[in-house]
Amino acid sequence: MFAGIKRDIRVIFERDPAAKSILEVVLCYPGFHALILHRIAHYFYLKNMVIFPRLISQLSRFLTGIEIHPGAKVGRGFFIDHGMGIVIGETAEIGDNVTLYQGVTLGGTGKEKGKRHPTIGSNVVLGAGAKVLGPVEVGCNAKVGSGSVVLNNIPPDTTVVGVPGKAAVHNGKRLPHIDLDHHKLPDPVAEMFKGMQGQIDELQQQLDNLERGCNSGSKAV
């Protein structure tokens, strides 16, 4: 347990430049508190207890603003930045070295039983306000832009933006470290308008050439 706590503290220092001291992390980081309380709740959940782990989960939600169901499976190197409003469902599975920002939801889409929440691969970054809904899979090294809504599977090494989420980059250049620049994402809508503007400019140029040709012919006559 203490080895896990040390690893969680080290992860915070690696990904949050605002962290200044171990004491600050232990006392002031709600994501750290929520993760510790979740591990305790998950332990009792695996013992087939129902009420007690849910009580721990509700206490964690009250103290941190982060709601993680005791049944959710969380890998190593999990980092929650700020965290207010995060919701993680019962059957959600999270790989190693995953980063979540505030307002992220890993939720279900109905009242179906069984696996009904997302599976998140390793080295994934979910931007602020991102929603991943249903039993979808987010591949390793993927990145989901802030405010995006994901309803379908995301292949590995893919950047997704928009509502509903659309792949904007696939198999881009990977960095040797976790890429936390979740704000530096392509805008497929802007790219589409840029392409349309280029076509309009080209058509306008052709029209101008035709008009000059017609005017030249009229003068010659």
pLDDT at 186: 59
pLDDT computed for residue 117 by the predictor: 95
pLDDT digits (tens, 9 = 90+) for 154-195: 999 988 988 887 777 766 554 444 555 555 555 666 667 777
Find the Cα–Cα–Cα–Cα dihedral 44, 33, 134, 166, rounded to 10°: -160
Under-70 pLDDT residues of the chain = 170-191, 215-221
pLDDT at 11: 93
For residue 35, give the nearest of 62, 75, 95, 3 by alpha carbon: 75
What is the structure's pLDDT at 90? 94
pLDDT score for 167: 79
Q: Decide: 151 and 130 in contact? Cβ < 8 Å.
A: no
SS (H, E, C) the chain: CHHHHHHHHHHHHHHCCCCCCHHHHHHHCHHHHHHHHHHHHHHHHHCCCCHHHHHHHHHHHHHHCCEECCCCEECCCCEECCCCCCEECCCCEECCCCEECCCCEEECCCCCCCCCCCEECCCCEECCCCEEECCCEECCCCEECCCCEECCCECCCEEEECCCCEEEEECCCCCCCCCCCCCCCCCHHHHHHHHHHHHHHHHHHHHHHHHHHHHHHHHHC
Q: What is the pTM of this model?
A: 0.76
Q: What is the structure's pLDDT at 175? A: 43
